[in-house]
Amino acid sequence: MGQRLVVIGGDAAGGSAASQARKRQPDLDVVIFERGRSTSYSACGIPYWISGTVDDEAALVARTPEQHRAAGIDVRMRTEVVGIDLDRRTVAWRDLDSGAEGREPFDDLVYATGSVPMRPPVPGIDADGVFGVQVLDDGATLRAELARGPVRRVVVVGGGYIGLEIAEACRIRGLDVTVVDRSATPVGTFDPDVGAQIAEAVRGEGIDLVLSDGVAAIAVGTDGRARAVVTASGRELPADLVVLGLGVRPNVALAREAGIPLGTSGGVAVDARMRTGVEGVWAAGDCVESVHRLSGQRVVVALGTHANKQGRVAGINIGGGYATFPGVIGTAITRVCDLEAARTGLSSAEAEAAGYSFVRAAVDSTTKAGYFPGAAPIRVTMIAERRSGRLLGAQIVGREAAAKRIDALAICIWNEMTVDEILSLDLSYAPPFAPVWDPVLIAARKAFEAVEADVRSL
């Protein structure tokens, strides 16, 4: 038998690692264990599949098990890894359909188990009719439930971006939707003023938003199904179906049991090459922690963009190459109802927590020249370090074609640029695309003025 790579988890991180390793080392035996029904799928597309914007489940699958097999990878579907023995260098597996069990030896192991939705420890949380959304099979289950006749009222617990995307999807299906969140504004990764705009857009879509009120219990009917969400303030929100949108935590149970070291943030600890510190054991994706390039802290950021890159890096290294994952800067984008929102770098709260002293500037402008048909509102907020003027964070909220501008600012932050440098950048302009002063440049100018005013006031 040749060298053998075993991969636990066959989605973004695991699938990328397996493909890269095999491509670089064609004689490598590669086995993927995937407990679900799909490989290399887009969980990010689930809300659009639920709403019907995307109609075909197959469209969400980038690489089927058959395609992986055609590339020489042995894919074991509906097969869960239930233990890792680092001394014997084997994994124990169980076939979820037949109940068959066995062990598989490995020389290299990629741990790519993703994350699990957070479930608040409240009464009734395990009742029928309460759903988390993480993998494609969860999307299929939710779609099937929604297609059941009696579902009319949906309560989403948690107003993070996934919760809101699911809420919107249910609303598009014509359901009565309530989102409950204990914060004063939804999507807590944004500053509160952006959160307030998001809240307005959500309510504008006819979704009921209950804020500053957490979930205290799920009321369960005599049939064992969830019938309402009870909030901390005692409100009872009737529900035929409850969706959890409280965020996720890294799926590290197997790693912890096996003795693969975890980091300070709770994810599997890895170095820049995605090595865990245990010889021949690698990890990638939602289950690992990454270095935040601005705060210097170890963070768990569950995003497909990182999972794919990290899987690729692990695969290249396993296949005999050299690659590194350089860390994250907190870039994310979402569309909530008809509002786009994006962020990069640190939010105000994160910058404060990281010990930065900063100024903040926000500008309201338009996505195209003000006179051009279709020009839509856009707000760009920047936070810049006091004195140095280094851009620490940016947030954009607006209508169509607003939010993708965040990528330019992500590059600025990545390259440690100051707002002074940014305001003179040679960005593109023509009336159908931007005002002559792009909103990004105006925001940089404002931030620069704030830095200057702060220095003058010393």
Ligand X SMILES: Cc1cc2nc3c(=O)[nH]c(=O)nc-3n(C[C@H](O)[C@H](O)[C@H](O)COP(=O)(O)OP(=O)(O)OC[C@H]3O[C@@H](n4cnc5c(N)ncnc54)[C@H](O)[C@@H]3O)c2cc1C
> What binding mask, one character per residue, do residues 283-302 give for ligand X by CB under 6 A, x or -?
--xx---------------x
Alpha helices (H) along 370-458: 406-414, 419-422, 439-456
Task: Choose the binding region for ligand X from 32-40, 97-105, 339-347, 429-437 (rule: CB under 6 A).
Answer: 32-40
Rg from Cα positions in the chain: 23
Order of all β-strands in the sheet with 226-231: 215-220, 226-231, 236-238
Can you tell me which of 105, 304, 377, 431 binds ligand X, judged by CB under 6 A?
A: 304
CB neighbours of residue 398 within 10 Å = 23
Asked if 124 is part of the footprint of ligand X (rule: CB under 6 A), the reply reads: no
Pairing of strands 298-299, 176-180: unpaired
Query: Residue 162 or 359: which CB sits closer to ligand X?
Result: 162
Catalytic residue (choose from 44, 287, 337, 412): 44
Can you tell me which of 5, 6, 12, 423 binds ligand X, judged by CB under 6 A?
A: 12
Shortest spacing between CB 129 and ligand X, in angstroms = 19
CA distance 121 to 289: 24
CB neighbours of residue 441 within 10 Å = 22
Can you tell me which of 5, 19, 34, 312 binds ligand X, judged by CB under 6 A?
A: 34
> What binding mask, one character per residue, do residues 340-379 give for ligand X by CB under 6 A, x or -?
----------------------------------------
Query: Residue 28 or 135: which CB sits closer to ligand X?
Result: 135
CA distance 239 to 272: 45
CA distance 369 to 45: 32
Query: Residue 28 or 133: which CB sits closer to ligand X?
Result: 133
Can you tell me which of 134, 331, 367, 395 binds ligand X, judged by CB under 6 A?
A: 134
Can you tell me which of 6, 9, 319, 399 binds ligand X, judged by CB under 6 A?
A: 9
Shortest spacing between CB 451 and ligand X, in angstroms = 32
Task: Choose the binding region for ligand X from 132-140, 228-236, 272-280, 428-436 (rule: CB under 6 A).
Answer: 132-140
Pairing of strands 115-117, 226-231: unpaired
Query: Residue 47 or 65: which CB sits closer to ligand X?
Result: 47
Query: With 0-12 CB in 10 A as exposed, 13-18 as middle and 19+ as buried, what is 390?
Result: buried
Q: Are 366 and 376 in contact (CB under 8 A)?
A: yes
Shortest spacing between CB 275 and ligand X, in angstroms = 17
Shortest spacing between CB 310 and ligand X, in angstroms = 8
CA distance 437 to 378: 13
Can you tell me which of 80, 145, 452, 454 binds ligand X, judged by CB under 6 A?
A: 80
List Cα–Cα distances, 180 to 250, 325, 333, 420, 445, in angstroms: 23, 36, 22, 41, 38
Q: Is 44 an active-site residue?
A: yes
Q: Are 37 and 78 in contact (CB under 8 A)?
A: yes
- 140-199 residues near ligand X, rule: CB under 6 A: 162
CA distance 378 to 364: 6
Asked if 252 is part of the footprint of ligand X (rule: CB under 6 A), the reply reads: no
Shortest spacing between CB 65 and ligand X, in angstroms = 12
Task: Choose the binding region for ligand X from 150-158, 207-215, 304-312, 323-331 (rule: CB under 6 A).
Answer: 304-312
Question: 254-290 burial by CB neighbour count: b if 16+ within 10 A, else e?
Answer: bbeebebebbebebbbbeeebbbebebbbbbbbbbbb
Asked if 135 is part of the footprint of ligand X (rule: CB under 6 A), the reply reads: yes
Can you tell me which of 17, 201, 202, 303 binds ligand X, judged by CB under 6 A?
A: 303
**Applying CB under 6 A, which residues contact ligand X?**
8-14, 33-36, 43-44, 46-47, 80-81, 112-115, 133-135, 162, 251, 254, 285-286, 302-305, 307
* Catalytically active residues, by annotation: 44
